[in-house]
Amino acid sequence: MDDDHHFVIAKEGWGHIAIVLFLSIIATILAGWWSIIFWLTLLFVIQFFWDPVKHIPSNSGGILSPADGRVVLVDRCINPEDGQDSIKISVFMNVFNTHSNRSPVEGVIKSKIYYPGQFFNAAFDKASHDNERNVLIIEEQNGWSVTCVQIAGLLARRIICYPQEGDRLSRGQRYGFIRFGSRVDLYLPSRAVPQVTIGEKVSAGETIVASI
């Protein structure tokens, strides 16, 4: 299982960076200043996989954002995994956001479910149902649970989720990564009180999106 012992460049990006760096050097040798496009691409790839240290809030009742990005949905709904009334909060990550995902709560993973699917724009709500996605149901010590769904997007082609059923995640722990634009949905108990609004920017492991 992944944890927070990693460099400020996500390990998921090391191979990509190495390839683009190699191509940039070769292009410079062969084409001189025309290689600038390769170096700009390298800067973009490094930026995409930038993975800074997060400062986890001490408020134990606060549910943390699982992703960096922009809130695109805050609403009441039925959790598709258990049929319960829920509060749904969705965070959309564009290609300029950090794409590491972090646990919104501390708890044990009761279920891990993978769904194959399409690759529609993750900013649209239909992505919650139609796109490729990976579901974690995390049960807190007091018995309530949070459903955290990683969703592939228009450009995303790989969802990475390290923990398995039975593993325990600490609050704000890094648990996965989605490459190149995506979305994370949270389904919270119906008594949860949202602390964010649509359009608000949030930071994974740092922004409290709801309280219970």
Laid out side by side, the sheet with 159-161 consists of 100-102, 174-178, 159-161
AA letter at 57? P
Q: How far is residue 147's CA from residue 159's CA, in Å, rounded to a whole number? A: 16
Query: Which residue among the candidates 86, 145, 182, 203 is catalytic per the annotation?
Result: 182
- CA 188, 193, 194 angle in degrees (round to 5)? 80
Q: Which 8-state DSSP code applies to residue 17?
A: H
Residue 203 appears among annotated catalytic residues: no
Q: How far is residue 6's CA from residue 121's CA, in Å, rounded to a whole number? A: 30
Minimal CA–CA distance to 165: which of 88, 108, 92?
108
Active-site residues, by number, are: 182
